[in-house]
Structure 1
């Protein structure tokens, strides 16, 4: 009996060791990634980290200094061979909708199609129905709202059935409430079309909401890549924690693989005696302990030791309150978020404990 060998299909998009420099500045530095059909990968990072340059090289509007780009296992670009942008089966969406004002909605959506008139019309009608804008087929862009224009831009980008969709901050020009609606609709339609998506954004919330996988980029390099849950809950370093949320940092010194803090001891294996340690915790994982009697810190089973702070400021943020403390132990400041309304007066002493299972321990960089 003969055994049948099953071959795994190649990724829809594969990028290998891309590099791009402008003068002496290395903007993209050895970036490699893959995206499967129907998968959304968010390239996330601060402005200037190389996200958009990476996207432009994949699209073919910029040329890499080194590295290779493959679509469905076939080379489309290296430093010698280069398929032009219009033949890469890659769609583009930007913050600027770039609709043609002199063309109707139908003609805008059909602009990139090279089929018969009847086939164009059928594809346009089908896509406009999916974005709930069938009524606007004969309108012109200037009569549509910003959100409606963005949906037209999406339909136009999808019309030629691209294998890959590259999106550079496409929702940043929309107000928050409309942005969520358009993002969800866009994601649903892209999944339905089985398009591989690379979304470039500097907004962690957007990446968490849309991505199957996040590639966190900094100074031209991908410093961490994985599912949103893993990136958020197992960050690679202090900067990665701080990119997704506010953080508190408790500084200590390692001795005998332990670091003493006002909140108790933390394990710090692998660090030399005398090494500085940053213990990082998000504000929502600090807790107020109202059972303290003012006589001093007491140990608890799950949260270590309590430390006292003095309220510096308290603000109501809508669904929660943000309370800022100046800590007794060294005068440093910590922030705590508390559900609902909690607004203690300035100067109020309160005891804090921390969720030890929610702390991240890193060697200090300074």
Structure 2
């Protein structure tokens, strides 16, 4: 399924949306940007909640809007989770969920009981929206959207009402839905952590215009300084096993092992971890005994030596993936480090992106 968007319309006298996007099939795409950058306006256009003549939208070859056609929102088979709470106030949480089921034009591939369990809303089903907190209402809204069996799921800052733990469990669930049911997802968010956690591709919006499509790695590198790190990289690993005795999870990283402290990763999971340059040291001595568990060979791809100041940055390659190390310029010279050299990377800390 491919999603084609060509839209140019004014939101106000001095603000215009102007995007030309060809979104990849069956993946998760994030629209990232500050408030007021036009992210939500694009979602509303896709959903058909705003009609702008002479603009174009197609999903899997079906034209939903162009100069002569306009498919009504209720006929688009699009699930939409709004930033603002939008449950029907006159019916219970369970009846809101059943409304999603009733909208489905094909048998639902997610079970009602599964949704209730994943979203932890069993004790909310008999309550009306006015009796629910913001986070509780949002969980019900997410369930309602998924039960409608959408061919495209739009998420407009859907996790802003939720606590951190539930937020990342839901991000995992969205990834599971996308992979297992092949439902493409467009996520709108201003959260760096959310978009690098869930997305396959990221577009950054500024002043109504979208930048180039970026991979998670490209995006994280470009935004590392704004996130408080000298360089941050996101790498992909695969689950090996859980070390119950030491409360560790062992991950395969390009043939070597990375140990992290997260206990709730499932077998066969492919996950992302975040590595900050400040947490990576370099050694040329493979025999050194150390308390650092994550040690493996890498190649120095490039060296950024500013010529003054205390620090230098190394880009380190591990087969097809790369990350960074921030070391002192004195260490750079004392170890006689050069580009193309194979050294030992020692990762003191790797943060799991749930």
How many residues align structurally?
A: 258
| TM-score, normalised with respect to structure 2 | 0.60
Cα displacement (A) at 1:76:
0.4
Match of 1:20 among 3, 9, 29: 9
Match of 1:74 among 62, 65, 76: 62
Q: Mark the structure with the bigger radius of gyration.
A: 1
Cα contact 2:202–2:219 (8 A) shared by 1: yes
Residue 307 of structure 1 corresponds to 308
Matched, 1:29 2:30: no
Structure 1, residues 40-87: CA drift from partner, whole Å, max 9, x if none?
Answer: 100111222211111110011112354310022110012331011110
Matched, 1:47 2:35: yes
| TM-score, normalised with respect to structure 1 | 0.58
Residue 192 of structure 2 corresponds to 204
Cα displacement (A) at 1:352:
9.4
Residue 175 of structure 2 corresponds to 187
Cα distance between partner residues in 2 of 1:94 and 1:241: 29
Task: Let me know the Cα RMSD of the aligned residues.
Answer: 4.0
Structure 1, residues 228-257: CA drift from partner, whole Å, max 9, x if none?
Answer: 013334x4xxxx665555669xxxxxxxxx
Cα distance between partner residues in 1 of 2:173 and 2:150: 18
SS of match in other structure, 1:174: coil
Structure 1, residues 80-110: CA drift from partner, whole Å, max 9, x if none?
Answer: 3101111011111022332234422220101
Residue 259 of structure 2 corresponds to none
Match of 2:95 among 69, 94, 107: 107
Cα contact 1:287–1:353 (8 A) shared by 2: no
Give unpaired runs (5+ residues) of structure 1.
Answer: 1-9, 249-282, 290-300, 310-336, 340-349, 358-366
Cα distance between partner residues in 2 of 1:288 and 1:115: 55
Cα distance between partner residues in 2 of 1:210 and 1:148: 22
Residue 57 of structure 1 corresponds to 45
Residue 332 of structure 1 corresponds to none
Residue 83 of structure 1 corresponds to 71
Cα distance between partner residues in 2 of 1:190 and 1:288: 37
SS of match in other structure, 1:307: coil
